[in-house]
Amino acid sequence: MKSWSCIENCGACCRFDLTERDDLSNILSSNDIALINSMSTKDGWCKHLDKSNKKCKIYESRPHFCRVNEFSTSFKGYLQNGDKFLINCCKQHISSIYGNKSNQMNAFKTAVTKK
């Protein structure tokens, strides 16, 4: 069984478009949505992402929705499928941002296969 794993030098989850995720309206509070909007730059990336190394500048104090392993438990898909749900979400997000044959996608596929 493959296990989900976050990879370095990716940051795909730091590009957050609320209009692309209709299932979030039942999970995020209005305060969460306001916070996401305040964190998002015009190009859709989080203002706390250091784009040179794709690392979070507020990692230790990041909001709950940025903590993938914790936040994912709010989704029905996760409750039913666990890591498979997370793996599919990451693949979709990485593919939409970097492409299906990108270095980030290759690194992610390698990381989840090694587990």
pLDDT in tens, the chain (115 residues): 688 988 999 999 999 888 777 777 788 899 999 999 999 999 999 999 999 999 999 999 999 999 988 888 888 888 889 999 999 999 999 999 999 999 999 999 999 986 5
Per-residue model confidence (pLDDT) at position 5: 87
d(CA 11, CA 76): 24
d(CA 9, CA 21): 24
Per-residue model confidence (pLDDT) at position 1: 62
Beta-bridge partner residues of 78: none
Per-residue model confidence (pLDDT) at position 103: 95
Per-residue model confidence (pLDDT) at position 17: 80
d(CA 71, CA 63): 10
